[in-house]
Each structure stands twice: as C-alpha cells, then as structure tokens.
Chains A and B, each alone.
Chain A
C-alpha cells in the first residue's frame, strides 16, 4: 500500500489531453514539493517534473504539473504514442522521514 495514491491506469488518444492525480497528506504533499517520474519497462525512471511544476531541460512543455493542498496532478497535452509509460509521483514525508512514492499510473495511448 503506497503512501501516495495514484490511479492505476489512464488512457487517451493521440492529440488528447490527459491528467493523472496523486493524493497524499499534510505530512507529505501538503508540506513538501512533488516530483514526477516517467518510466518505460526495463529502464530507469526519468525526472519529468520537479518542485510541483518545474520541467527539467529537455522535457517538452506538453508536460505540466500542479499542486493544491494535499493533491498533485500531472497533465500531458497533445498526447503522443511515446508517452505510453508508467508515471510516478513522489514527495518527502515529514512524519516518516522518508521519500514516499505513489503506486504509479500506467498511461496507455490508444
């Protein structure tokens, strides 16, 4: 059971906009910034969004992050086939003194 809650799956057609949520508590998302990672099967995760809504260089502006209270969201606009991957949210938890991850959302591009 992950500390952060993500829907297990999401889907969308090419060109569409999809959003995925990440729900936490006051000790993690409510107190610290949220980071998002993209992972393809058999490969290491890649940093996608950091500090709630910042994109590392090289990440397309189709990807955006937001946060409100104890929940965060990742949005992908202009969906492309190469976005078909697993997405994980993460944050520091002040009560656990640990990094906590969501269980991940598997995005399927139809």
Chain B
C-alpha cells in the first residue's frame, strides 16, 4: 500500500537550516509529482512547494521562495525539503503529499504523510 513517511523535523533557532525527508513506498515514486504542504498550530493548510516527477520543474509559495528548496532522489524513493533562513512563522507540521495522476504536476493530493513538526524558536 502507498506509504509516505516524513522525518527530520525538530526545534531549530531562527536563521538556521533544516532538511525534511519523505520516504515513499508502495508505488512508483519516480512517476509522480510530489508536494509539501504545511499547517501552523491551530491554523489551516498552506501549500509550500511542488516538484515534477522527473525533478525538472519546481514551484514555490511566495512565503518560502528563495529560502526553501524541494528536491528528490528517485533512486531512493525519497522527497526532500531543504529549509534555510528559518523564521518563527515557518513553525508548522509539514506534510508531503502525492499527486493523483501519473506525471501530472497540477493535480489533487491523494496520499499524505503523517506530518513532521518543525518548531522555529530561540
């Protein structure tokens, strides 16, 4: 069955960096675009970034553009989110999510990970 497992979250000071991972299994990871979505405590969902199935295309939310980088290793079935220059407002649970349709960049998210909490605090 499809599984997405995030890791790498934790407490980090403002201005520092953190890298999240999302290990995929149960499907052909290399065939699907992948997204990161975050949720601040008590708040709604906020889309963060998307990467195409082959890693050739990426898009970012304005709130993280220039600070975050999404990338993937299809040989390891793993998605990453490199977060630099972290701010207090980046505190959130970060979910990775799969697009529903093979090779589609823009699509609904049919499978989600359980989330990884990132807390930015001094």
**Which positions in A face B, CB cutoff 8 Å?**
2, 32-33, 35, 37, 39, 43-47, 50-51, 56, 86, 88, 90, 92, 96-104
CA distance A101 to B46 in the complex (A): 7
Summarize A's interface: helix, strand, loop or mixed: strand
Among A32, A47, A102, the residue within 8 A (CB) of B106 is A32
Smallest beta-carbon distance A31→chain B, Å: 11
In the complex the two chains form, is A102's CB within 8 Å of B59's CB?
Answer: no
Summarize B's interface: helix, strand, loop or mixed: strand
Number of interface residues of B (CB under 8 A): 21
25 A-B pairs whose Cβ atoms sit less than 8 Å apart in the complex = A33-B108, A35-B109, A37-B45, A39-B45, A44-B95, A44-B112, A44-B113, A44-B115, A45-B37, A46-B112, A47-B108, A51-B108, A88-B44, A90-B45, A92-B106, A97-B59, A98-B62, A99-B35, A99-B37, A99-B47, A99-B50, A99-B106, A101-B46, A101-B47, A103-B44
Number of A-B contacts (CB under 8 A): 57
**Which positions in B face A, CB cutoff 8 Å?**
35, 37, 44-47, 50, 59-62, 95, 100, 106, 108-110, 112-115
